[in-house]
Amino acid sequence: MNWSEPMKLIRPLAALSVVAASALVLAGCASNADEAEAAVGGEGAGETVSFSFQNNTAGEDEDPVYEDVTVEVPKNPENVVIFDMASLDTWGTLGGAPVVGAPLDSVPDYLSDFVADDAINAGTLFEADLLEIEAAQPELIIVAGRSATLYDALSDIAPTVNLSSEGSFQEALERNTAFLGEVLGVEDEAADAVADIEAQIDEVTELTADIDSGLSVMVSGDSLSALKPSEGDYSGRNLRGGLVYDVFGVAPITDDIEGATHGEPVSFEFLKEYDPEYLFVTDRNAATGEEGTQSAEVVLDNEIVHSTRASQDDHIVYLDPVAWYVVFGGLETAQIMIDDMKAGVA
């Protein structure tokens, strides 16, 4: 998958007109929220949860452009389409019904049980197949991060929320888990799950307090990029790269790194020059499954890397590439990240 492809909406204009006309006939003067409320069955039928958020309409590599939005979300919806893997993670972990649509090629194996066997392929992390989605008649659509720019088009189909990070990793996890817990009527379970994650993060930071310095890097192709702490800038380009430092308390070997979605390109000599005690590696090659690329272990198998303190002390920590690069959020993913750090620094 090419993560850098520009976002496009897969929907012929002629089909748009037909579907729009049909929707008007079926819906009359009812709003999308009204339709969703009427469609929800079982406990909580007809009830809604009000959710307010700042919708970022800019792309992943662009400066954010926000608008304030409030959406009425039906409680206990059965037909849900989720584009954001972190949201899919938390939704399924809290017991939400298997979703009827998602970007199927991007769903990690460990989240596959959260997707219905007959689910539609809703597109990609950057694109939406609006015809397929509308045919599925979802009661709720969830976007975030890479898919945030799809909000306007998808909100014409059904109530749509953008769960992109607002604030730190922990703040976003708590906020989004609380919201989804309220939608599913499992508020106490959601609060307990977040408390457990936070307690385990505290355990990891006690371990990392003994590390004098670390460096988080990303391997892409045969190249290396250094990642920096977010320094309070929790936009998409910084939040993911800073997780090792910001969430798990690793002291960075240097602050002289430029913030970028995939980090600042550096040479192998950079590793030798700064020589951190620990090296934390995210393998983007493995995360994207791009053909013709080597694993991070192979790329880092050279004399310069072998001469570093991290290599000689067996302190090169390979992080789960899908959890740290693709998802980097959600309850089960947070557990994977915690386990990675515990195993790497214990």
CATH number at residue 298: 3.40.50.1980
One domain, residues 23 and 155: yes
74: pLDDT strictly greater than 90: yes
DSSP state of 94: T
One domain, residues 25 and 158: yes
pLDDT at 146: 86
- Mean pLDDT value across the chain: 85
Q: Smallest Cα–Cα separation from 316: which of 244, 267, 234? A: 244
Q: Is residue 4 part of a domain?
A: no
Full DSSP string of 206-242: HHHTT-S-EEEEEEETTEEEEE---TT--SHHHHTTT
Crossing angle of helices 85-93/169-184, nearest 10°? 50
27: pLDDT strictly greater than 70: no
DSSP state of 6: P
- Mean pLDDT within 69-91: 96
Q: Is residue 290 part of a domain?
A: yes
One domain, residues 333 and 237: yes
Cβ pair 236, 145 in contact under 8 A? yes
Percent pLDDT > 70 in the chain is 82
200: pLDDT strictly greater than 60: yes
Using alpha carbons, list the distances in angstroms from residue 174 to 71, 147, 200, 275, 278: 19, 21, 14, 35, 29
Q: Which residues, including other chains, have CB under 8 Å from residue 307's CB and lie 6 or more apart? A: 272
One domain, residues 235 and 155: no
Q: Is residue 181 part of a domain?
A: no
What's the per-residue H, E or C state across 282-309? EEHHHHHCCCCCCCHHHHCCCHHHHCCH
320: pLDDT strictly greater than 80: yes
Q: For residues 199 and 338, give the distance between their C-alpha atoms in angstroms, rounded to a whole number.
A: 11
- Count of the separate structural domains present in the chain: 2
- Mean pLDDT within 5-12: 37
One domain, residues 28 and 156: yes
> pLDDT category, 164, cuts 50, 70, 90?
confident
One domain, residues 125 and 227: no
pLDDT in tens, 278-317: 999 999 999 988 888 899 999 999 999 999 999 999 999 9
Using alpha carbons, list the distances in angstroms from residue 81 to 147, 157, 205: 12, 11, 36
pLDDT at 145: 85
7: pLDDT strictly greater than 50: no
Using alpha carbons, list the distances in angstroms from residue 28 to 34, 35, 77, 260: 11, 10, 22, 47
Q: Is residue 26 part of a domain?
A: yes
Model pTM above 0.85: no
- Last residue in a domain, options 164, 192, 220: 164
User: Which is it for strands 115-121 and 99-102: parallel, antiparallel or unpaired?
Assistant: parallel
pLDDT at 105: 95
One domain, residues 47 and 155: yes
Task: With H, G, I as helix, E, B as strand and everything else as coil, classify residue 114.
Answer: helix
Q: Is residue 321 part of a domain?
A: yes
pLDDT at 261: 60
Q: Is residue 176 part of a domain?
A: no
Q: Is residue 333 part of a domain?
A: yes
Domain enclosing residue 280, as ranges: 202-345
Q: Is residue 3 part of a domain?
A: no
pLDDT in tens, 235-266: 665 667 789 999 999 999 998 887 666 678 99
- Mean pLDDT within 117-137: 96
- Last residue in a domain, options 140, 164, 188: 164
- Last residue in a domain, options 135, 164, 193: 164
pLDDT at 24: 36
